[in-house]
Amino acid sequence: MKIRMITQTGVLIALTVVATMFIRIPNPATQGYINLGDSMIFMIAVVFGWRVGGLSGGVGSALADTISGYFLWSPWTLIIKGVEGCLVGSLAWWGHRRFSGWQDQVVSGSAILVGGIWMVLGYYMAGTVLFGSIVALTEIPGNLVQAGVGLMAALPLSILLRRALKRSYYESDAY
């Protein structure tokens, strides 16, 4: 990786940590919480691809869990959110290469939907291992809301960020 990409990835991981820790609505039954981190994971994956999406999703979210005292969830989050970022990034980049305009946005939205479904299922499976299937069911409504809010925030943010990056690239000396 180039120095610029490493630095950029570090900043995006930090952005994911901040978004995850900004608003936390706890679920006492599973010792977990609802947060805004998915909106950043989705946006980052759509704009920067599967590698950066996977790293910022997994490492950023697991770091937020660790810093916030949710140690029990950190290893699970590393895997679940890492795969989420990779899924969204892979599917969105497939769409970027084949479509433009509204069709590209439909593919990006579909990619985010797949990532959100994975996140809900991943945390249900982790909750089942940790607490049993009945208690794990209490995570599903909050995780569905978290994925839905993430989708609604990430799509417009990703459009704006892609435009800004494209404009700054063409206006810089790199062009």
- pLDDT at residue 88, rounded to an integer: 97
Cα–Cα distance, 168 to 97 (Å, whole number): 21
- C-alpha distances (whole Å) from 8 to each of 4, 52, 166 are 6, 9, 16
- pLDDT at residue 31, rounded to an integer: 84
Give me the residues of the chain with pLDDT under 70, please.
1, 169-175
Cα–Cα distance, 102 to 97 (Å, whole number): 14
Cα–Cα distance, 145 to 18 (Å, whole number): 19
- pLDDT at residue 96, rounded to an integer: 84
- pLDDT at residue 175, rounded to an integer: 38
Whole-prediction pTM? 0.91
- pLDDT at residue 172, rounded to an integer: 56
Cα–Cα distance, 56 to 78 (Å, whole number): 10
- pLDDT at residue 97, rounded to an integer: 84
In the three-class reduction of DSSP (H, G, I as helix; E, B as strand; rest coil), residue 32 is classed as strand
